[in-house]
Amino acid sequence: MVEPILEIQGVRKTYPARRSLFGRSAAVDALKGVSLAVTPGESFGLVGESGSGKTTLTRSILRLEAPTAGRILFKGEDMARLGPKALRTLRARIQIVFQDPYASLNPRMTVEEIVSEPMLVHRDILRLDRAGRRDRAAELLALVGLSTQHLARNPHEFSGGQRQRIGIARALAAGPELLLLDEPTSALDVSVQAQVLNLLIDLQDRLGLTYLFISHDLAVVRYLCDRVALIHSGVLVEEGPTREIFDAPQSDYARMLLGAAPKVRVPPATPSG
Amino acid sequence: MSKLADPIAATAAGPVRREKLARALFRFRQSRLSLLGAAIVALVLFFALLGSVLAPYPDDVRGSVSTAARFLAPSAAHPFGTNEVGQDVLSLTMAGTTVSVLAGFGVVIIGSLLGTLVGAVAGFAGGLVDEALMRFTDLVLTIPSLILAMAIAAALGPGFENMVLAISLSWWPGYARLVRGEVLAAREEVYVTAARAIGASPARVLFRHILPNCLSPIIVKMSLDMGFAILTVAGLGFIGIGVRPPTPEWGTLLSTARSYMPDYWWTAMAPGMAMFLAVFGFNLLGDGLRDVLDPRGRR
């Protein structure tokens, strides 16, 4: 078996109890020992309801939060052991596309500034001068289906789908290997959803990216992902190839989730499955 | 992709910036009130620069006295009359613009810089730093600002710089509290998380992502405060702390005019109107600026 690009080993995250004027809130176990492995080049789907720990897991992978216990390995390297410099280097290799394209772009920056920021932050790795950054920003926009005339505009001049494309361009700017997709289409119209999904599939083919796709939308996961894991209140319930899980779910939770999904006619052959 | 690179190379930073400026100007022009504010402020700034040069009786500005011409009512020669020592009130008011506007600017700029720094650090760092800085801010806020300014001015001695410093030191807590609140809110925005995920340094996150998005309330407060600062400067002049005669200043002019008030009303009118106009203009301009600086807030 190939060495996994991302390996999560028994990760727990407990938010401690908080005392306030109005009494105590109980400690929350957001993740209760989650283990999974993502192999290079695949699309791994992580499916769960709201509050199941999906977001905590992404924040832990990005090292925006430190897990209480367990290890997260990127290409065999323990992320908790990295020094500040190595961590910064690593952040060029793992990037994220956020759910809400209306909130994830700084309204004060132009599209060019947004897309070139990762190149500026990682200029010691990418070694791009001003003109080089500008060229690459234009390239990236073309890659996600926007044009160079959009560079000087502010985010509020774009539609949701276009903004999500800008968010994807930003995530690609530093040349990452692993892309976390945190429900990238759930804030978009259905027609735009399909466009963005197809863009993601296309980008994966062209750039050889690995996707960790987080969603609660089973139809989208089935369309895009090679393997799926179901997460429920901080515990992985089931994991396996997409087709197996959808055709022959093993756990009650998986059956419940599949049963609860609205019946949408899905094309019989999934292109990536 | 090389064919894409060419038009980009041709588009240097200049045209992009010019386009942004053109858009901002267009937005600003759509509101008549902000144009009026800009016009008034331009007039005030014009007099602040050239008031003492353009004054019809420059000798009076320098302190010359002609008791024969005291308390002349407004006329063609003296549009706003003369005061108790026969000086032309219009000339004094024009020359007084310099001190008032400069002091106002000084107070607002020093106060906002100080307050923004304190508030941004408190909001961004959180925890103990936040507690310490904000309790100190609260402490300064509990002292009445004019009294504090008077005490500082009295301790430092009279003079223009000391007056500005004194008012600034009582002025910053408002900015600190405003900015802290804004930073606390902006810190939780998704684009801030995105910047951290990219690997941006804390300084970059604070100065590039958080503070620019807190700017519009600061600008609005600065423009409103500009008026109040001019009033406070005049207030200190009125009670006799601040610039010394013979340097003309609106507050001092009003203060002397007060004793002759009902009979020789014109001695108070010119400095009073000037103050009103300056405060009014800066407030209108501030509203207009907000529309330009905050693209989301425009109607």
**Number of inter-chain CB pairs under 8 A, A vs B:** 86
Q: Which residues pair with A240 in a beta bridge?
A: A228
Residue-wise pLDDT tens digits, B12-56: 444 555 666 777 777 777 778 888 989 999 999 998 888 777 888
Buried b (16+ CB within 10 A) or exposed e, B136-156: ebeebbeeebeebbbebbeee
* Rounded Cα–Cα distance for residues B206 and B33 (Å): 34
Supply the mean pLDDT for chain A: 86
- The answer to whether B209 contacts A107, with C-beta atoms less than 8 Å apart, is no
Answer whether residue A130 shows pLDDT above 70.
Answer: yes
The alpha-carbon radius of gyration of chain A (Å, integer) is 19
Distance (Å) of CA A117 to CA A137, A179, B124 = 10, 17, 21
Give mean pLDDT, residues A23-50: 86
Entry field: residues in chain A: 273
Give mean pLDDT, residues A75-97: 87
pLDDT in the model for residue B216: 80
Smallest CA-to-CA distance from B103 within B93, B111, B114 is with B111
Supply the mean pLDDT for chain B: 82
* Rounded Cα–Cα distance for residues A225 and A121 (Å): 31
Give mean pLDDT, residues A49-65: 85
A94 vs B28, higher pLDDT: A94
* Rounded Cα–Cα distance for residues B266 and B260 (Å): 10
pLDDT in the model for residue B296: 54
First-last CA distance in chain B: 40
* Rounded Cα–Cα distance for residues B29 and B288 (Å): 9
Lowest mean pLDDT among A84-88, B51-55, B125-129: B51-55
Give mean pLDDT, residues A32-47: 90
CB of A235 within 8 Å of any CB in chain B?
no
Q: For residues B173 and B145, is the Cβ–Cβ distance under 8 A?
A: no
Answer whether residue B84 shows pLDDT above 70.
Answer: yes
* Rounded Cα–Cα distance for residues B285 and B224 (Å): 9
CB contacts, 8 Å: B8 with chain A:
134-135, 138, 148, 151
Give mean pLDDT, residues A103-128: 89
DSSP for chain B, please give it.
-HHHHHHHHHS-HHHHHHHHHHHHHHHHHT-HHHHHHHHHHHHHHHHHHHHHHH-S-HHHHTT---GGGTTPPS-SSSTT-B-TTS-BHHHHHHHHHHHHHHHHHHHHHHHHHHHHHHHHHHHHH-HHHHHHHHHHHHHHHHS-HHHHHHHHHHHH-SSHHHHHHHHHHTTHHHHHHHHHHHHHHHHTSHHHHHHHHHT--HHHIIIIIIGGGGHHHHHHHHHHHHHHHHHHHHHHHHTT-SSPTTS--HHHHHHHHHTTTTTTTHHHHHHHHHHHHHHHHHHHHHHHHHHHH-GGG--
* Rounded Cα–Cα distance for residues B21 and B16 (Å): 9
B5 vs B204, higher pLDDT: B204
Q: For residues B261 and A121, is the Cβ–Cβ distance under 8 A?
A: no
pLDDT in the model for residue A271: 54
Smallest CA-to-CA distance from A196 within A220, A216, A173 is with A220
* Rounded Cα–Cα distance for residues B298 and B291 (Å): 5
| Domain regions of chain B by residue span | 41-50+95-297
- The answer to whether A139 contacts B1, with C-beta atoms less than 8 Å apart, is yes
Give mean pLDDT, residues A182-207: 88
User: Which among A87, A106, A135 has CB closest to B8?
Assistant: A135
* Rounded Cα–Cα distance for residues B233 and B229 (Å): 6
Mutation test of the interface with chain B: which of A74, A87, A108, A112, choosing the one with the most B Cβ atoms within 10 A?
A: A108
- The answer to whether A121 contacts B5, with C-beta atoms less than 8 Å apart, is no
The alpha carbon of residue B195 is apart from the nearest alpha carbon of chain A, in Å, by 8
* Rounded Cα–Cα distance for residues B173 and B141 (Å): 6
* Rounded Cα–Cα distance for residues A78 and B41 (Å): 60
CATH no. for B41-50+95-297:
1.10.3720.10
Mutation test of the interface with chain A: which of B2, B6, B8, B294, choosing the one with the most A Cβ atoms within 10 A?
A: B8
CB contacts, 8 Å: B193 with chain A:
64, 98, 104
Residue-wise pLDDT tens digits, B232-274: 888 888 887 777 767 788 888 888 888 887 888 888 888 889 9
Residue with tokens 């509020």: A156
**Opening angle at CA B198, ends B193 and B203, nearest 5:** 75
User: Which among A108, A134, A170 has CB closest to B212?
Assistant: A108
Residue with tokens 């022009």: B29
Q: Which residues pair with A94 in a beta bridge?
A: A178
CB contacts, 8 Å: A87 with chain B:
199
| Domain regions of chain A by residue span | 6-260
CB contacts, 8 Å: B20 with chain A:
152
CB of A88 within 8 Å of any CB in chain B?
yes
CB contacts, 8 Å: A108 with chain B:
212-213, 215
CATH no. for A6-260:
3.40.50.300
* Rounded Cα–Cα distance for residues A24 and A9 (Å): 31
Per DSSP, A140 falls in state H
pLDDT in the model for residue B290: 73
**Opening angle at CA A35, ends A33 and A38, nearest 5:** 155
* Rounded Cα–Cα distance for residues B190 and A182 (Å): 12
CB of A181 within 8 Å of any CB in chain B?
no
Give mean pLDDT, residues B215-221: 83
CB of A187 within 8 Å of any CB in chain B?
no
pLDDT in the model for residue A263: 62
Residue with tokens 């999906």: A54
CB contacts, 8 Å: A170 with chain B:
194, 198
Answer whether residue A168 shows pLDDT above 90.
Answer: yes
CB of B155 within 8 Å of any CB in chain A?
no
* Rounded Cα–Cα distance for residues A105 and B122 (Å): 25
| Orientation of helix B160-169 relative to helix B145-156, angle to 10° | 140
Three-state DSSP state, A36:
strand
- The answer to whether A170 contacts B7, with C-beta atoms less than 8 Å apart, is no
Q: For residues A116 and A123, is the Cβ–Cβ distance under 8 A?
A: no
* Rounded Cα–Cα distance for residues B195 and B197 (Å): 5
Q: Which residues pair with B65 in a beta bridge?
A: none
Give mean pLDDT, residues A127-148: 90
Smallest CA-to-CA distance from B196 within B211, B181, B206 is with B206
A172 vs B67, higher pLDDT: A172
Residue A218 dihedral angles phi and psi, to the nearest 5°? -65, -35
Q: For residues B71 and B82, is the Cβ–Cβ distance under 8 A?
A: yes
